Amino acid sequence: MPTIRLVNVTKQFSKGSKAVDQLNLTIEDGHFVSLLGPSGCGKTTTLRMIAGLETPTDGEIYFDDTCVFSNEKGINVSPDKRNVGFLFQNYALWPHMTVRRNIAFGLENMKWDKKKIENRVAEICKAMRIEEYIDRYPAELSGGQQQRVAIARTLAPNPRVLLMDEPLSNLDAKLRNDMRAELKRLHKQTGATFVYVTHDQLEAMTLSTRICLMKLGILQQYSSPLELYGKPANLFTADFVGNPSINLIPMDAQMAGDAVKLSSADLQLTFRPNEPVALPESGKVVLGVRPEFLKQQDENAVDAQVESSLPSGMETILVTKVGAQRLTSVIFGDVDFKSGENLKMGFSGNKYQLFNGDTGMRLTSGSLEV
């Protein structure tokens, strides 16, 4: 399976601004990479450029050492020569063909011999757990089963790379969960490189080995899901991943020895950085507190008042106010709180984030003292 390398890839459509701007990205062999970001950030365009369905305005694309696109060198390998499988949102199966024929059809077009096709169809149907539907027509299958057939059809020719554009978005929540697990299993089983477009951060977090987070055509961060969550490169990344969202609190900062004194109208805190930190000259920072790191406790805590409480059984999303500062936390267990109730909310551990208030870039993480 190849490593896919995008070098300074830019796409400018005739109308409008750049859909993808100077993208540098290496998708390592055998990885499951999600292209994540809000609507219009350039995910689909990037995927289509890898497939060869869209021509970049500038830059180069490599599959291992083979250049499949170069504006400068005048290279543009056609989609059918790139050996990629492509799974769209609308995976249109042929309605007049059985599952078996739907899968075999592409292989026949590729001039595979009859016995080889028969074996491959049986093999892939087993892997996708659709053997018992093999002689049914698409209309006789549920949405999830149809989706599995579509995946089987895409995987049948053994593509080196599987490109998927929001393939689960038409499925209901339960089925989507099941299919996610299926995709993860399939990735492991095939060893192929998966590139997956989604705007659903949870989907990207749970499926991927690496996430490429984009905004307005520009790469924001390319790292593992847990690094994206725990060490967000900037405020956009911090805010985009995690549900409920991270609390972002603008504060004034001043060094006090190795520590940082943070103050806002409602909060006075001492931040102890995990590594040496250089504050911006303006002293403007943004403190990032993930909801699970704001706890109901007596020690190292501030006085807060409950604004709203949303229990879901396993956990409760609690919104409190410290003065005018609204803070969201997640309390685990089946607890509930009354609106207006006074309680103490506190800090522990060293996973609080500090961002440069002027540039939005992450400075460091650390612990908090009241």
Residues lying near ligand ATP in the complex (CB under 6 A): 13, 15-16, 19, 37, 39-45, 199
Q: Which is nearer to ligand ATP, 21 or 60 (CB)?
A: 21
The SS3 call for residue 54 is coil
Q: Which is nearer to ligand ATP, 45 or 102 (CB)?
A: 45
Q: Which is nearer to ligand ATP, 18 or 187 (CB)?
A: 18
| CB contact burial 293-309 (16+ within 10 A = b; e otherwise) | bbbbeeeebbebebbeb
Cβ atoms of residues 131 and 161 within 8 Å: no
**Nearest-angstrom CA–CA distance, 105 and 292:** 51
Cβ atoms of residues 354 and 364 within 8 Å: yes
**Nearest-angstrom CA–CA distance, 162 and 159:** 6
Q: Which is nearer to ligand ATP, 164 or 368 (CB)?
A: 164
The SS3 call for residue 132 is helix
What minimum distance in Å lies between the beta carbon of 165 and ligand ATP?
8
Q: Which is nearer to ligand ATP, 34 or 145 (CB)?
A: 34
Q: Which residues pair with 222 in a beta bridge?
A: 212
Distances from the Cα of 340 to the Cαs of 14, 87, 109, 267, 295, in angstroms? Answer: 55, 50, 68, 19, 17
Contacts 24+ apart (CB under 8 A), 276-279: 277/354, 277/363, 277/364, 277/366, 278/363, 279/253, 279/254, 279/255, 279/363
What minimum distance in Å lies between the beta carbon of 45 and ligand ATP?
3
Cβ atoms of residues 220 and 360 within 8 Å: no
Q: Which is nearer to ligand ATP, 44 or 367 (CB)?
A: 44
What minimum distance in Å lies between the beta carbon of 37 and ligand ATP?
6
C-alpha dihedral over 263, 265, 268, 271, to 10 degrees? -40
What minimum distance in Å lies between the beta carbon of 235 and ligand ATP?
20
What minimum distance in Å lies between the beta carbon of 190 and ligand ATP?
25
What minimum distance in Å lies between the beta carbon of 320 and ligand ATP?
34
Q: Which is nearer to ligand ATP, 54 or 60 (CB)?
A: 54
Q: Which is nearer to ligand ATP, 42 or 138 (CB)?
A: 42
The SS3 call for residue 309 is strand
**Nearest-angstrom CA–CA distance, 163 and 154:** 10
What minimum distance in Å lies between the beta carbon of 40 and ligand ATP?
4
What is the residue whose two structure tokens read 């991927």?
Answer: 208
Q: Where are the alpha helices (DSSP H) in 156-297?
A: 173-190, 201-207, 225-230, 235-240
What minimum distance in Å lies between the beta carbon of 338 and ligand ATP?
40
**Nearest-angstrom CA–CA distance, 247 and 328:** 7
Q: Which is nearer to ligand ATP, 21 or 182 (CB)?
A: 21
Q: Which is nearer to ligand ATP, 86 or 355 (CB)?
A: 86
What minimum distance in Å lies between the beta carbon of 39 and ligand ATP?
3
Helix 99-109 × helix 143-155 angle, to 10°: 20
What minimum distance in Å lies between the beta carbon of 150 and ligand ATP?
19
